[in-house]
């Protein structure tokens, strides 16, 4: 045992590989309420990247589950409050290297475990289009800041729809890329097989440009990635048109909708793609309806072991582990358990019950069924270039009132999988690229249309989105 202890001591003295920090910055400041529209900012800073590059002149907000060196990080929770990372996430470095300017960290939901926008410990994030309503989450601040014009672009994270939900309810473009296309290095992991980072922007052109910068292999630091990933120049390909492309309108994606106006708007708008020369026809895939129940145990038991028990890193994968971040999460969970949000405590209790009484049975079945779900989409996508459906089943609901009480708010916060994520979570499981674009408004509220493509075929997804954007904007 003495020899083992000395070996651990020696291990801790070795110089570890680190993520680069290439641009000067100051810590910045926490904005006061009057300078924080929609409560979307967690922290303000000003980090200027390279003088030239594809993103020169563009301003950025970074979701607060992604590390920016020297800038405090909270991940929406007091558990991590007070932590300041000493490294830049790979996506942050790529933005700065391309000339982007980072002007702050965007609020996100408590440990990114909610699809709404009122669980952040810094307070609820309000929708710029109607401040009584949710932006959706967990990339809530990112959605609000892009929609309000506070920044040109933002980074979001997506384990069950957390880019596409706020994109839909804020009326912007949000892309969950193919699993592994964009490196996750330096972000708090929720569940390794579900984690995605991606762009949130006003336009399809900006989305394509940002993806072009973010995508690509990260020198083996991220186990989600493939070494031979090819990254096209998406921004130069999006205007190629979609004449002759086949678009499948997924029947089950409309069946889950709970508001008829959502169905009406998306069906009307997808038909307009015929104007761009596309073939549009309905397709049925019944297993799509089982997507949420396939995803749920993987997310619940997986996130519990990776995010909670694994301190935001998990184990059993090769790559870069941000040690200071996992130590900060571990310290927060140990010393401040009372600050864990009620809905997350319930989440943990349910996951622990499943672990004790059923081991990883349902996690394993969920992962096995993910293979079947993936194969089903792949088979349909052999006949269609993309699938289209509503991003979400209904429009943005009202935020809970301050006097609703904690229990009522907790029950409200536990609803996402059942009430909003039926069309988003399946593609976190399967890893297919999925983009939300605004398809119109009803009662003054935006309705999103989701475009899903083949693995690593973001080009076609973006081409369809861009063709639709042109048609939509011509009638404004």
The question of whether 345 is a catalytic residue gets the answer no
The Cα–Cα gap between 63 and 156 comes to: 6
Contacts of 224 (CB under 8 A, 6+ apart): 179, 180, 183, 184, 192, 195
Token readout for 226 is 């493939």
The Cα–Cα gap between 474 and 299 comes to: 41
If you write DSSP's letter for every residue of 174-237 in order, what string do you get?
Answer: EEEPSTTTS--TTB--S-TTT--EEEEESSHHHHHHHHHHH-S--TT--TT--TT-----HHHH
Q: Are 61 and 154 in contact (CB under 8 A)?
A: yes
Report CA 74 to chain centroid distance, whole Å: 17
Contacts of 359 (CB under 8 A, 6+ apart): none
Report CA 470 to chain centroid distance, whole Å: 25
DSSP state of 24: -
Three-class secondary structure assignment of 295-343: HHHHHHHHHHHHHHCCCCCCCCCCCCCCHHHHHHHHHHHHHCHHHCCHH
- In angstroms, the Cα distances linking 28 to 93, 99, 157, 450 are 18, 20, 23, 36
Q: Is residue 278 classed as helix, strand or coil in its secondary structure?
A: coil
Q: Which of 140, 142, 162, 168 is catalytic?
A: 162
Q: Which of 58, 63, 105, 395 is catalytic?
A: 63
The question of whether 436 is a catalytic residue gets the answer no
Q: Are 196 and 176 in contact (CB under 8 A)?
A: yes
Q: Which of 117, 138, 140, 142 is catalytic?
A: 138
Q: Are 227 and 216 in contact (CB under 8 A)?
A: no
Q: Are 99 and 64 in contact (CB under 8 A)?
A: no
The question of whether 138 is a catalytic residue gets the answer yes
Q: Are 174 and 161 in contact (CB under 8 A)?
A: no
| Catalytic machinery residues | 63, 138, 162
């Amino acid at each position: 045992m003495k020899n083992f202890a000395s070996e651990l001591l020696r291990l801790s003295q070795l110089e570890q590989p680190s993520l680069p920090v290439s641009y000067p910055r100051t810590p910045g400041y926490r904005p006061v309420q009057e300078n924080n529209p929609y409560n979307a900012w967690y922290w303000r800073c000003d980090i200027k990247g390279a003088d030239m590059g594809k993103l020169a002149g563009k301003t950025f907000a970074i979701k607060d589950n992604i590390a920016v060196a020297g800038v405090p990080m909270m991940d929406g929770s007091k558990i991590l409050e007070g932590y300041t990372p000493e490294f830049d996430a790979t996506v942050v470095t790529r933005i700065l290297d391309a000339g982007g300017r980072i002007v702050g960290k965007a609020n996100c939901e408590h440990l990114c475990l909610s699809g709404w926008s009122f669980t952040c410990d810094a307070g609820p994030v309000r929708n710029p289009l109607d401040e009584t309503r949710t932006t959706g989450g967990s990339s809530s601040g990112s959605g609000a800041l892009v929609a309000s014009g506070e920044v040109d672009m933002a980074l979001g994270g997506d384990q069950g729809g957390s880019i596409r939900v706020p994109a839909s309810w804020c009326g912007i473009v949000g892309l969950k890329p193919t699993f592994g296309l964009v490196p996750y290095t330096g972000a708090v992991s929720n569940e390794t097989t579900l984690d995605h980072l991606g762009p949130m922007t006003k336009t399809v052109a900006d989305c394509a440009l940002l993806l072009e910068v973010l995508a690509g292999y990260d020198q083996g630091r991220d186990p989600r990635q493939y070494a031979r990933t090819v990254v096209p120049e998406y921004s130069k390909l999006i205007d190629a048109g979609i004449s002759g492309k086949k678009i499948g309108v997924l029947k089950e994606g409309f069946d889950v909708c709970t508001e008829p106006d959502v169905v009406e708007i998306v069906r009307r708008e997808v038909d307009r793609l015929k104007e761009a020369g596309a073939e549009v026809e309905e397709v049925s895939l019944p297993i799509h309806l089982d997507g949420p129940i396939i995803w749920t145990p993987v997310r619940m038991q997986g996130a519990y072991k990776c995010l909670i028990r694994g301190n935001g890193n998990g184990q059993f994968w090769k790559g870069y582990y941000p040690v200071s971040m996992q130590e900060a999460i571990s310290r927060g969970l140990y010393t401040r358990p009372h600050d864990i949000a009620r809905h997350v405590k319930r989440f943990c209790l349910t996951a622990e019950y499943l672990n004790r009484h059923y081991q990883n049975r349902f996690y394993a079945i969920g992962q096995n069924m993910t293979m079947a779900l993936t194969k089903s989409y792949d088979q349909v996508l052999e006949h269609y270039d993309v699938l289209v459906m509503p991003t979400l089943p209904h429009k943005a609901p009202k935020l809970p009132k301050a006097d609703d009480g904690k229990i009522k708010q907790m029950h409200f916060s536990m609803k996402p999988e059942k009430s909003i994520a039926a069309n988003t979570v399946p593609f976190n499981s399967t890893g297919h690229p999925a983009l939300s674009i605004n398809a119109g408004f009803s009662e003054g509220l935006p309705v999103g249309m989701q475009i899903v493509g083949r693995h690593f075929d973001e080009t076609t997804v973006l081409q369809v989105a861009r063709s639709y954007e042109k048609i939509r904007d011509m009638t404004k």
